[in-house]
Structure 1
């Protein structure tokens, strides 16, 4: 199966699928321009490594101590390396050694004994562009989300040339051969759609016979999905793809215990995503709802085991349909 996205939610799902012995290909966003990733990108013109780093760790079979070293972020008192994660620096170094990010990540995957495949969505750094509902436009993920305006559409361009980007052939082959293509969880406009807006990658998602599954976010996100329902999340993806291409949506139906909620840890989030089952069905989207919440220490995550179980079942159904068609 193929999982497409970025951000902190993706490793949770990948970890759970790995425990199910699924054959996984993770296709990772390369348009982030913030934090350590953005800083490295600005200095040495490399694809942002942060999401790639986290995905590599989630699928790696190296020891926990080795993972901790790879994930270590230098303290702010270390002025030269302040805020940088060691893994980001290693990815940047391998990118220079190999001359491209795709080969760099494949090399590092072998070193880290990754169980599956990790593919950057593009071999070149991408710039995210957005048009807001009021007709204005903005460039760059950080600038777009800071405007606090409703986004109408997004697209990506090659950061160096300004041209339309492309995904490499292994990315396209993985999507076409998959039994399930999973979108999310992650920021709708800045982690999921940047991948789908790579023209040949989006076309592969439209054409694949795999079950296309969307894992809807639990919380709305400030500057991106303010007050969105689950149906509005799906509608935005379908609008960008140009049709009803989401086959199944996994949506949380359980109430969040707000007494355990720490606002200071979630200043970017607003409220639980509203359920709109009628709106989902109007988009020809099957709905699977459950208590998909894993809430601990005041943080809200998806319950990876429950989500992985549903994904596996959907993938098996798609595999059976494929075999019947082939016969």
Structure 2
């Protein structure tokens, strides 16, 4: 049954994900009259986040850092400092973003862990809306591949370049992964839940595989909107259609939980992409309207394409305008 969120003046919108896609939507969403909550994955074990996680055993901070900046009202100069990444000449600090180090320090200082630390940092950075880590403890992403083999760790899973059958998350201490009650309350009280855009298996599903998060998503009265990726990804979604993306989400959640899908149908100009710079992206996601409708989805297909620096991205403003229409807030 189609779930339609309440039509209120300032709709409550929860955006769930990670990676580079989440800030794109948040940057545009913060320009509207909305009550925003970002639920951010904590299963990243690559780059600076992974190194910090291994050395001082804190939740990986990279995705959280980017989301804080996307919602911050601080002057640009302060945000640039927070985002500054030391270059290779600095050796000890090489590759680390200042914001990652600050988040790691605060999470060590605060007995409440990363969740409470991020709430304090949100106030310091004057963020519009809430930023909630999906879990208060580090999570390990696990995958089973089509050949029956399994691997643990986001970076290892992506590097394997195998067809993923299913993913799940575990904690480093063996306890049941769980989101804080604030995350669950936000989902249950929302008018609209937005998933993506972002890597299907490594940015979106790690959040939904936390048991109480997945259950809340299935039980909420909010409309659940999936922003489908524009490109397929090497080692994750090779040859996927938009309907395949939705099918994977619904299968992992145990029911047809996706109500509405936003899909880009604008063709990417041939030879536009820099294949060396964006080597993880393969082909444009194939449009399968029949496959989407068979899963009970409302389908919104349009030109959501943004071409920039020989890369392919979602146009955040166009996507958010559509999200606003869905909440009945077309002119906000």
Q: What is the TM-score normalised by the length of structure 2?
A: 0.94
Are the aligned partners of 1:26 and 1:117 in contact in 2 as well (CA < 8 Å)?
A: yes
1:225-244 → structure 2 map (5 Å cutoff): 225-244=237-256
* Counterpart Cα distance in 2 of 1:68 and 1:305: 22
> Hey, what does 1:38 align to over in structure 2?
50
* Counterpart Cα distance in 2 of 1:171 and 1:218: 28
* Counterpart Cα distance in 1 of 2:325 and 2:114: 33
Q: Secondary structure at the match of 1:79?
A: helix
1:152-167 → structure 2 map (5 Å cutoff): 152-159=165-172, 161-167=173-179
Q: Shift in Å at residue 297 of structure 1?
A: 1.5
Give the counterpart of 1:142 among 155, 159, 166: 155
Q: Secondary structure at the match of 2:60?
A: coil
> Hey, what does 2:143 align to over in structure 1?
130
Are the aligned partners of 1:179 and 1:316 in contact in 2 as well (CA < 8 Å)?
A: no
Q: Secondary structure at the match of 1:51?
A: helix
* Aligned CA-pair RMSD: 0.8
Q: Shift in Å at residue 206 of structure 1?
A: 0.3
Q: Shift in Å at residue 164 of structure 1?
A: 2.0
> Hey, what does 1:178 align to over in structure 2?
190
Q: Shift in Å at residue 163 of structure 1?
A: 2.4
Matched, 1:279 2:297: no
> Hey, what does 1:323 align to over in structure 2?
none
1:200-241 CA deviation, whole Å, 9 max, x = no partner?
Answer: 010000000000000000110100001100000000000000
Q: What is the TM-score normalised by the length of structure 1?
A: 0.95
> Hey, what does 2:130 align to over in structure 1?
117
Unaligned runs of 5+ in 1: 318-327
Q: Shift in Å at residue 20 of structure 1?
A: 1.2
Are the aligned partners of 1:33 and 1:48 in contact in 2 as well (CA < 8 Å)?
A: yes
* Counterpart Cα distance in 2 of 1:243 and 1:316: 27
Number of aligned residue pairs:
316
> Hey, what does 2:310 align to over in structure 1?
298
> Hey, what does 1:64 align to over in structure 2?
76
Are the aligned partners of 1:214 and 1:250 in contact in 2 as well (CA < 8 Å)?
A: yes
> Hey, what does 1:11 align to over in structure 2?
23
Q: Shift in Å at residue 63 of structure 1?
A: 0.5
Give the counterpart of 2:40 among 2, 11, 28: 28
Matched, 1:98 2:136: no
* Counterpart Cα distance in 1 of 2:308 and 2:155: 28
> By percentage of residues, which structure has more helix?
1
Unaligned runs of 5+ in 2: 1-12
Matched, 1:189 2:197: no
